[in-house]
Structure 1
Amino acid sequence: MIRLCGDHGYVDGESCPVCANEGRHVLDDDRRTRLSTFVSGALRHFPDDVGLSLDANGWVAYDALVDAVCQKYSWAERDHVDAVVATDPKGRFERREGAIRAAYGHSVDVTLDATDSMVPDRLYHGTARRTLDSISEEGLRPMGRQQVHLSATVEDAREVGRRHDADPVVLVVDADALVRDGLDVDKRGHDTYTVDYVPPAYLTTLSE
């Protein structure tokens, strides 16, 4: 759940992890999940369907997003949107004065500016075992998204892979070589990295 601590803002859990203050209850887990899923979809995949108009870089007026959420859910308030955006565990959203966008994961056509973040030498990608043959021949391609998503840790990659396979395989990506060879790898959110394409030569299967 999300609570509001008077000193430290929106926090996850039963109390503030900094001061242990219980604060004020804002959203339970069910409504948080529903609202987060809708906001992600609206900013990544179906803005037109909910009356939003993204600019070329994926930004939309924050007030417009709040209006779309409140039209979707009769119980929703601005405070709820603020809380979901502020506490998203993967950093899916970027907010600036008066505007918001999804940090990554778009299927609609937007251009995200490059970042200057340091890229780890190795990144990871979780996938269904049935895809291994095609990946070994063609590499990693976006498959409905604008870019390939890579994870900073094996655990995160495996979690992503479980969306497609109960027993996914984790691929190790030689991110250092990708960057040295001129492919742009950008950090998006907390632990997600994006790249246009990963050729097979940069991939190995994690030993289990």
Structure 2
Amino acid sequence: MVSNATEVSLSKFMTKLLRHTPEQYGLILDPEDGSCTVDDLLSVLVKAPRWSEVTVRDIRQVVTSCEKQRFEIEGDRIKARYGHSHTRIAYEPGNPPPTLYHGTYAGVLSAILEEGLQSMGRQYVHLSEGTHFASLAGSRRGNLILLTVDTISAGQMGVTFYYAGNEVWLADPIPSSCLNVYTPL
């Protein structure tokens, strides 16, 4: 089993492979859902000198332990749940709860409140059902700001929402009129 620090590093490399540059490493992802077999992922991983000793068990540990729940294994296939930048992955439209959360940082708040939420180089805007995942995403770059998204208003304005699993929702760009700064009670 890999150590915690090694697990984080492996998770980052798996993210690169499954979300951003699979073709750079010769990994072919299913164009419909962005998945590949666990064995295909393993064969790419072990070609990298640092990961030559990685096992399927290590991959499964990363999937299970990843706090942000980035990955999903179904049968013999693995995929990143969200965050793709290489090709647009198809998700089924869904009906989100009335309020979703988005984590960001203070340095971009004024731009978001003016322009709305944009996908910023990814395929979709990332949202969550609770503040925990939104806080994890937003605290990476500075002072955390949590926004609430009025999904009913956004839906009426033509925004489509997609459920990515484990409390994570994806959406088309969201108008600023559907956003508020979250202030806990």
Give the TM-score of the pair, scaled to structure 1: 0.78
In the other structure, the counterpart of 2:164 is 188
Larger radius of gyration: 1
Q: Does the 8 Å contact 2:117/2:174 carry over to 1?
A: yes
Q: Distance in 2 between matches of 1:132 and 1:153?
A: 19
Q: Deviations over 1:2-47 (max 9, x none)?
A: xxxxxxxxxxxxxxxxxxxxxxxx3321221111111111100111
Q: Does 1:206 find its partner at 2:182?
A: yes
Residue in structure 2 matched with residue 94 of structure 1 by the alignment: 72
Aligned equivalent of 2:63? 85
Please list every run of 5 or more consecutive structure 2 residues that lacks an aligned counterpart in the other structure. Answer: none
Partner of residue 111, structure 2: 134
Instruction: Figure out how many residues of one structure are paired with residues of the other and give that number.
Output: 181
* Residues 1:120 and 1:181: Cα distance change in structure 2 (over 3 Å): same
The yes-or-no answer on 1:34 pairing with 2:9 is: yes
Residues 90 and 191 in structure 1, CA contact (< 8 A), matched pair in contact too: no
User: Is the CA contact (8 Å cut-off) linking 1:93 and 1:189 kept in structure 2?
Assistant: no
SS at match of 1:123: strand
Equivalent residue, structure 2, for 1:46: 21
CA-to-aligned-CA distance 1:69-118 (integer Å, 9 cap, x gap): 222212311221122224433332233343222111001113222154x5
Q: Letter of the aligned partner of 2:144 in structure 1?
A: P
SS state of the match for residue 39, structure 2?
Answer: helix
Select between 49-58 and 100-109 the one with higher mean Cα deviation.
49-58
CA distance in structure 2 between the partners assigned to 1:70 and 1:170 by the alignment: 39
Q: 1:53 is matched by which residue type in structure 2? A: I
| In 2: Cα distance, 1:97 partner to 1:45 partner | 23
Cα 1:200–1:155 shift into 2, 3 Å: same
Q: Which sections of structure 1, spanning at least 5 residues, go unmatched? A: 1-25
Corresponding residue to 1:179 among 136, 155, 160? 155
Question: Relative contact order, CA 8 A, sep 6+: which one is greater?
Answer: 2
The answer to whether 1:111 aligns with 2:89 is yes
Q: 1:149 aligns with which of 97, 111, 126?
A: 126
After superposing on structure 2, the runs of 4+ consecutive aligned residues of structure 1 that deviate more than 4 Å are: none
In the TM superposition, residue 154 of structure 1 has moved relative to its aligned partner by 2.4
Q: 1:132 to 1:59 in 2, by over 3 A?
A: same
* CA gap 1:135/1:195 in 2 versus in 1, 3 angstroms: same
Using the aligned pairs only, state the percent identity: 32
Structure 2 length-normalised TM: 0.87
Between Structure 1 and Structure 2, the one with more helix by share is 2
SS at 1:150 equivalent: strand
